[in-house]
Amino acid sequence: TKWVLTFGDGRAEGRAELRELLGGKGANLAEMANLGLPVPPGFTVTTEVCTHYYANGRSYPTELQAQVDAGLDHIQAITGRVFGDAVNPLLVSVRSGSRASMPGMMDTILNLGLNDQTVAGLAEGSGNPRFAYDSYRRFIQMYSNVVLGVGHHSFEDILETAKEKKGVVEDTDLTADDLLALVASYKAKVLKETGEPFPQDPRDQLWGAIGAVFSSWMNARAITYRRLNDIPESWGTAVNVQAMVFGNMGDTSATGVAFTRNPSTGENRLYGEFLVNAQGEDVVAGIRTPQPITEASRIEGNVAAPSLEKRLPEVFTEFVRVSNVLEKHYRDMQDLEFTVERGKLWMLQARNGKRTAKAALKIAVDLASEGLITRDEAVARIDPPSLDQLLHPTIDPKAERKVIATGLPASPGAAQGELVFSSEDAEVAVAAGKKVILARTETSPEDIHGMHVSEGILTTRGGMTSHAAVVARGMGKPCVSGAGMLRIDEKSGTLTVTGRVFKAGDVVTIDGSTGQVLEGAVAMVQPELSGDFATLMRWADEVRRMGVRANAETPDDARAARRFGAEGIGLSRTEHMFFDESRIVSVREMILADDEAGRRKALGQLLPFQRADFVALFEIMKGLPVTIRLLDPPLHEFLPHTEKDMAEVSAAMGVDVEKLRARAAELSEFNPMLGFRGCRLAIAYPEIAEMQARAIFEAAIEAAKSTGAPVTPEVMVPLVMGRPDFDFVKARIDAVAKLVEEETGEKLVYQVGTMIELPRACLKADEIAETAEFFSFGTNDLTQTALGISRDDAATFLKHYTDKHLLPSDPFVTIDREGVGELVVLGVERGRAVRPKIKLGICGEHGGDPASIAFCEEIGLDYVSCSPYRVPIARLAAAQAAL
Ligand code: ADP
Ligand code: MG
Ligand code: MG
């Protein structure tokens, strides 16, 4: 087996398509080498070795050692350096890289191959002893941390002490001799902490590092990240071993990161940061404030030293060329890592850049307009749930802003909450129902869980490409980074700015679009749905086959649904309309009535209210289809339950409290979900359905007149078991329609259909379709009844099923294709067999879930219906499913 693939010098054994085998980093290093771009030579140990490692008690395939040696030979041949050689030593980096990018999750080791002999060779050969000892002390620290488990702070304390003693601030102020002394202290520290001297044999170092990368696949950070991002454990990581290039060789050396377009706004401009005379992660770690790559991308407030464009113009020109090559080649915005060694540019990483939803839209629309991708590709590239970020509020431009501090606009959108200063506190506060803003000096991978539960993130150090910024953008959370005027004292739980002190629990607002930190809870506004959003949604609508409707009952919901592009209402739940204070009295009178006459009288009082509700909906929807479901919940939900409420209601209604209590007891159920609800109400008390039908039909006539658009209401009967119960209710509805036609002299056009939400209804769908004109699959109840799981009680045990991989996902979030899905397919087939043109839709939570929407497309439903805020997501997901 080939366990190792090499790259470098204009060619590679791998390529971008081998991502599964080589990991993202390795595949793209190979691709860049194939493109003739400047990539330091190296080799990739494949993910199959990782799989083998874990399948065989953490051991390697036997051929691996020889293949790694051959890989080293390859690097040596290209660089002309020799691993472990005292005069001309080859140094390498050992880098992890899995299939999906896992930023900051796995640890990279730089400068491997240094020891007491080779460091002298490096000093001599480079003519720069300072650089050589700087590299050595960095290596000891990284290696000891990652492989030997000696904490970073051990070394940082030593470094700080050395700087204090010398009276300097920057690492760069330390001389070669200082660093040599530091190396000695570091080695002593390692001996003390581990009981062993720091390993001097480069081959031991290499195998130690490779082993550490593979073990880090199972470290807590990596496991958390995989869980949060649905990355399977089985993928494994690859290891990249690559010749070192040095950004810390002096003033014409540098290290940096860049995006080919702005990852926050999507603006088509090279965007990035770098540090002169620095190595590796220095930029990201927020050790010094980085400098911008271009003059134009200088962020307001970043007055640090000049841009790469000014400082190293030739390198800049070359970098622009390389960025363009890569963007055209990958046809997407690239996230690049590079190093400049004495004026020569080296590329160390390229990948499709993470971006905010706003930037994703702009980049996709721009790339399509530039002709790099097609419109369909643009549609396919947007992650539907990410649109959610754009549908939520930003700070009201008219609101007064009491600015506490300004940092960098690292991830857009506004968020507010109580200040917390650690991830642990964030989790505790959120568990107690609070909303929090996590304020940290700088975040690290250990903070992922805290960031996840926070509304937004605020840091006092680090740039636009710092850990906090990158992770927040990925999570779609607002973030302000590098607000340097703020002082955070985690121990005392305070945030100080020019003499003012904010404590944990104080409310602040952050504006990730401007970088402002504001006092209190500032007013927010709804977003604009124009520009790139509208363009991309238009392209999506052009390829979409299924209709998208909304579940809406209030005028506000209906208006939001229209704004978000809903093509009708797929589910209007009438019970919500009954809870209104002005009506609940009549509802209760109806429930307490002793006979039909009493019920009809109370229902008569409800009629004008219901009619007005429907008129409002029909008018807003202007002729678009509106599906109205007859009353569904058990009646006892409308009765008071506590003694206190009963006393109040009985006084207000003038009914005997005993009677109230007796009726409540009579209606109470052991299992309301399977109780006296749905069409069972209409079967027991047909007058309820009759009143609702009358309200619907009278409203249809009225709204048709006021809007000039004909209204075709769809009356939906819930929870039918078969044709007989459906027909019973339908007969009442049709009778009312006839009556209304006679009374008004108007002709009504309407449909009566049913919600298919019981397994029996799926089985009897052929018979039901003989008289039902449409089906809407109510997959919430269908999931409950098919799986025998009460959704409200599922929390305690369902998690065990998903954790133990007994169910692929929560069946209430994504439709259970194999079970519930199969029932839906039966219903579709049997219904269509009898009534080929029957209108088929889905309502409930699944209608807004992209994976479930894909299923609906596959089985050929006519439309999905979901909550108004999910309508854009559903439109996009339906388009992607149709592509
Ligand atoms: P991550 O996956 O966390 O980004 P990387 O493997 O990309 O880790 O390494 C982090 C940084 O280390 C790189 O961005 C680069 O600056 C530096 N680095 C890695 N390999 C080399 C190398 N061969 N020469 C110089 N710097 C390197
Ligand atoms: Mg990193
Ligand atoms: Mg990297």
Binding site membership of 337 for ligand 1 (Cβ less than 6 Å)? yes
pLDDT of residue 98: 92
404: domain range? 392-525
Where does the pLDDT of residue 298 fall: very low under 50, low under 70, confident under 90, or very high at 90 and above?
Answer: low
- Cα of 40 vs centre of ligand 3, distance in Å, is 14
Q: What is the rounded average pLDDT of the residues 864-874? A: 92
Cα separation of 355 and 74, whole Å?
37
Give the catalytic positions in this structure.
467, 843
Where does the pLDDT of residue 297 fall: very low under 50, low under 70, confident under 90, or very high at 90 and above?
Answer: low
Binding site membership of 245 for ligand 1 (Cβ less than 6 Å)? yes
**209 within a domain of the structure (yes/no):** yes
Q: Tell me what ipTM this predicted complex has.
A: 0.97
Q: For ligand 1, atom 9, which residue shows the shortest CA distance?
A: 108
CATH of the domain at 60: 3.30.1490.20
Least confident range from 57-71, 96-110, 256-270, 513-527: namely 96-110
Whether 480 and 629 map to the same domain: the answer is no
Distances (CA, A) of 31 to 13, 22, 317, 725, 750: 9, 11, 22, 65, 61
**745 within a domain of the structure (yes/no):** yes
What are the binding residues for Mg(2+)?
A: 757, 781
Binding site membership of 244 for ligand 1 (Cβ less than 6 Å)? yes
> Among residues 355, 379, 409, which one ends one of the domains?
355
Binding site membership of 781 for ligand 1 (Cβ less than 6 Å)? no
Asked if the model's pLDDT at residue 103 lies above 70, the reply is no
Q: For ligand 1, atom 11, which residue shows the shortest CA distance?
A: 280
CATH of the domain at 805: 3.20.20.60
Q: For ligand 1, atom 26, which residue shows the shortest CA distance?
A: 280
pLDDT of residue 844: 82
Binding site membership of 297 for ligand 1 (Cβ less than 6 Å)? no
Whether 549 and 460 map to the same domain: the answer is no
Whether 277 and 130 map to the same domain: the answer is no
838: left (phi over 0), alpha (psi -120 to 50) or beta: beta
Whether 30 and 172 map to the same domain: the answer is yes
The predicted-structure confidence for 73-92, as pLDDT tens digits, reads as follows 999 999 999 999 999 999 99
What are the binding residues?
A: 573, 629, 757, 778-781
Percentage of the chain exceeding pLDDT 90: 73
**757 within a domain of the structure (yes/no):** yes
Least confident range from 256-270, 389-403, 539-553, 612-626: namely 389-403
Binding site membership of 42 for ligand 1 (Cβ less than 6 Å)? no
**640 within a domain of the structure (yes/no):** no
Asked if the model's pLDDT at residue 25 lies above 70, the reply is yes
- Cα of 553 vs centre of ligand 1, distance in Å, is 54
Q: Give the CA count within 13 Å in the CB-facing half-sphere of 334.
A: 27
Residue listed under structure tokens 């190396």: 183
> Among residues 326, 355, 384, which one ends one of the domains?
355
The predicted-structure confidence for 519-575, as pLDDT tens digits, reads as follows 999 998 877 788 999 999 999 999 999 999 999 988 888 998 999 999 999 999 998
Whether 485 and 419 map to the same domain: the answer is yes
Asked if the model's pLDDT at residue 282 lies above 80, the reply is no
- Cα of 172 vs centre of ligand 1, distance in Å, is 20
Nearest ligand, CA of residue 108? 1
Where b means 16+ CB within 10 Å and e means fewer, 185-223 reads: bbbebbeeeeeeebbeebeebbbbbbebbbebbeeebbe
- Cα of 188 vs centre of ligand 3, distance in Å, is 31
Q: For ligand 1, atom 15, which residue shows the shortest CA distance?
A: 280
**663 within a domain of the structure (yes/no):** no
Binding site membership of 108 for ligand 1 (Cβ less than 6 Å)? yes
Could you tell me the pTM of the whole model?
0.83
Where does the pLDDT of residue 788 fall: very low under 50, low under 70, confident under 90, or very high at 90 and above?
Answer: very high
Q: Could you tell me which residue, 748 or 580, shows the higher pLDDT? A: 748
Q: For ligand 1, atom 13, which residue shows the shortest CA distance?
A: 280
- Cα of 236 vs centre of ligand 2, distance in Å, is 18
Q: For ligand 1, atom 16, which residue shows the shortest CA distance?
A: 280
CATH of the domain at 349: 3.30.470.20
Nearest alpha carbon to residue 222 among 454, 20, 444, 445? 445
pLDDT of residue 301: 53
Secondary structure of 596-616 as H, E, C letters: HHHHHHHHHHHHHHHHHHHHH
Asked if the model's pLDDT at residue 584 lies above 90, the reply is no
Q: What is the rounded average pLDDT of the residues 768-774? A: 98
pLDDT of residue 306: 86
* DSSP reduced 3-state for 416: strand
- For residue 42, give the ligand 1 atom closest to its CA: 23
Whether 343 and 416 map to the same domain: the answer is no
The predicted-structure confidence for 804-836, as pLDDT tens digits, reads as follows 889 988 899 899 999 999 999 999 999 999 999
> Among residues 243, 271, 294, which one ends one of the domains?
243
Structural tokens at position 707 = 């809007």
Greatest CA separation for the chain: 105
Pocket probe for ligand 1: among 348, 354, 465, 471, the residue whose CB has the most ligand atoms within 8 Å is 348
* Average pLDDT value over all residues in the chain: 92
- For residue 284, give the ligand 1 atom closest to its CA: 14
**586 within a domain of the structure (yes/no):** no
Asked if the model's pLDDT at residue 105 lies above 60, the reply is no
250: left (phi over 0), alpha (psi -120 to 50) or beta: left
Least confident range from 375-379, 412-416, 453-457, 792-796: namely 792-796
Whether 722 and 760 map to the same domain: the answer is yes
- For residue 96, give the ligand 1 atom closest to its CA: 6
Least confident range from 139-143, 186-190, 672-676, 744-748: namely 672-676
Binding site membership of 610 for ligand 1 (Cβ less than 6 Å)? no
Binding site membership of 323 for ligand 1 (Cβ less than 6 Å)? no
**480 within a domain of the structure (yes/no):** yes
Whether 346 and 486 map to the same domain: the answer is no
Q: What total of structural domains would you count in the chain? A: 4
Q: What is the rounded average pLDDT of the residues 484-488? A: 91
Asked if the model's pLDDT at residue 22 lies above 70, the reply is yes
**653 within a domain of the structure (yes/no):** no
pLDDT of residue 575: 84
pLDDT of residue 643: 85
pLDDT of residue 223: 87
What are the binding residues for substrate?
A: 573, 629, 757, 778-781
